[in-house]
Structure 1
């Protein structure tokens, strides 16, 4: 029993360390994203994919009798994920009926980012996930508002590669360095 308890503590510590490393890397990527949203987004997605694969491997290597998540916790998490995915699907379905052209393509891109974020491997309790989800929602809201103001200008800016800063709500060109 003592060995099982120690193994369980070791597993929990390894999981906490992996979470800390993930958060540190996500913070670094978020900072890079301010300079180059497209590059950081791709790197973040690759990192999330790698971490999910690593997490799946770690879970597969846990000896029987020692688990990190009880069946009740797994069911609760699965329910949260299903609810979040349904909310995201409804939000983007409604949004995509309101726009046309390049703005619609941008909304589809945001939808894919949201679906990736709320995938089955996501820990919805994680503050970073909550923050990213909020940023995606804010980007969508701003895009819809900009499109409602001037659809032609919005589509021309998107077609030219412009992005919307989720903090200021202003257009910017990610290819231009801020430094």
Structure 2
């Protein structure tokens, strides 16, 4: 993998993905990544990967990336910077204006990227657990005896919980 440092390199990769970038657009993307300690890598087939510079030269955590992913990531970073700057008292109006320009540039790039690269989808196994609850009064000498009596009755079908006994639901990622 080769580190992308020049606008022309990013332009070459993005056009392979169906998104033509102007030099200024590529420069904006590379600037946001560099400013947040990330970089882009490309292989000999112009495939893109995101690299966290804090990992040094270790590429184990590098993720396959698309130009759409890159634009989306930079839009998120721009939004955070805009919020921070807007909340500052006596902030730099020129910097705020530059961030707003970047927001427009990133938005136009994303419109083109959405056409060329639909969002990637993945398959997720979602576990749905529904909780049913019924309170059963039982006369017994102890908690253990009460539990045993209700368990026997439940095993025999005396207590059948239905949708009327619904107490909640949870969703988790299945493995």
TM-score range, shorter chain: under 0.3
TM-score by length of 1: 0.25
Structure with more strand by fraction: 2
Higher relative contact order (CA 8 A, sep 6+): 1
Structure with more helix by fraction: 1
